[in-house]
Amino acid sequence: MSLGELTEAEHAAADRALRSSAGPELARAMFAVALGRPVEDELSLRRAIALRWLDENGQPTALGNQVKDPLREFVFWEERGRRLPSEELSPVLARPRFAGKDVLEVGSGGGCNLLSLSGIPHRLVGVEPMPLYRQMSPMLAAMAGLPEPEVVEGWGRELPFDEASFDTVLCYSAHQYMRVDRALTEMARVLRPSGRLIVVGNTFFPFAGETVVRFARDRSLGTLKYDLTAIANTLAYQLRGRRALLPTDAKNTTSTPIYPTRGHLYRAARHAGLVPAIHDQRTLPTGETLFVATRR
């Protein structure tokens, strides 16, 4: 789904609503919509309709389909106790490990991971290409009662930072939307010597297995088509260096993910001048891969 940009009026309305005392309940209402559940709070339902996030039948509008994504991210963050995803599953992800460091998150989305680390690193920056996520990041911080994180515009393939600017680079479930080899080269470039890259996300074989399970469970042809497109794009990317199936707006979309194999990540990391930390690699209970490497 392509995530555009809120107009000035849409931005002002969303900002007022989410910064108000009713903001958290409104976020939960859109979280329910994102998960295909009915909105049970009548007042929040009316507010979402007034904001034109939902139509009179409680269904998301085009605008609602955009704002519900960062709000879903926010509610999931609240529900896991404001921790980093999978933080408790590996010491690599423990928040004290980031203390006093300069940390960059590539593909920071609405900024919830930045909020988890608020006040811990020496410097903390997110880079995010999608305008709507950047617009909503301050609103999510305000709802959480935390300082607004620093988020800049940029793509994984061309990070807007000087060489050797950070001690740690994080990438949480965002590498699949990038040109992975180029992005890893850029992440290596902005790392200081001995700096650490941490990537958490799905890889090819777990994703392929999940495709079978999802179709057996849901029998959804739409989901199967999406998953098979991702598999085809992944195979094409690993063989030819580019996706085979692209929509016309592929530059600004999250509809064409790829899930490289762990071996591909190893090779791309080494080519970028990184040394994979084999002892830290693991498949997490979530099914995602934790991939760690250091800059030479």
The whole-number pLDDT of residue 228 equals 95
pLDDT class for 252, splitting at 50, 70, 90? very low
The whole-number pLDDT of residue 1 equals 42
The whole-number pLDDT of residue 246 equals 75
Average pLDDT score, the chain = 93
The C-alpha atoms of residue 80 and residue 256 are separated, in whole angstroms, by 28
Residue 23 contacts by C-beta under 8 Å, 6 or more apart in sequence? 17, 139, 142, 143
Q: What percent of the chain has pLDDT over 70?
A: 96
pLDDT, tens only, 214-239: 999 999 999 999 999 999 999 999 99
Amino acid at 237: Y
pTM of the full structure: 0.93
pLDDT, tens only, 23-32: 999 999 999 9
The whole-number pLDDT of residue 287 equals 86
* Burial degree of 66 (CB within 10 A; 0-12, 13-18, 19+): buried
The whole-number pLDDT of residue 83 equals 96
What domains sit in the chain, N to C, each tagged with a CATH number? Answer: 8-79 (no CATH), 87-203+260-295 (3.40.50.150), 204-252 (no CATH)
The C-alpha atoms of residue 111 and residue 264 are separated, in whole angstroms, by 28
pLDDT class for 247, splitting at 50, 70, 90? low
Q: Which residues of 9-38 are buried (b: 16+ CB within 10 A; e: fewer)?
A: ebeebbbebbeeeebbebbbbbbbbbeeee
How many other β-carbons are positioned within 10 Å of the β-carbon of residue 142? 16
Per the model's pLDDT, the better-predicted residue between 134 and 280 turns out to be 134
Query: Phi, psi at residue 252, to the nearest 5°?
Result: -120, 45
The whole-number pLDDT of residue 254 equals 65
Q: Which residues of 215-237 are buried (b: 16+ CB within 10 A; e: fewer)?
A: eeeeeeeeeeebbebbbebbeeb
pLDDT, tens only, 168-213: 999 999 999 999 999 999 999 999 999 999 999 999 999 999 999 9
pLDDT, tens only, 84-128: 999 998 999 999 999 999 999 999 999 999 999 999 999 999 999
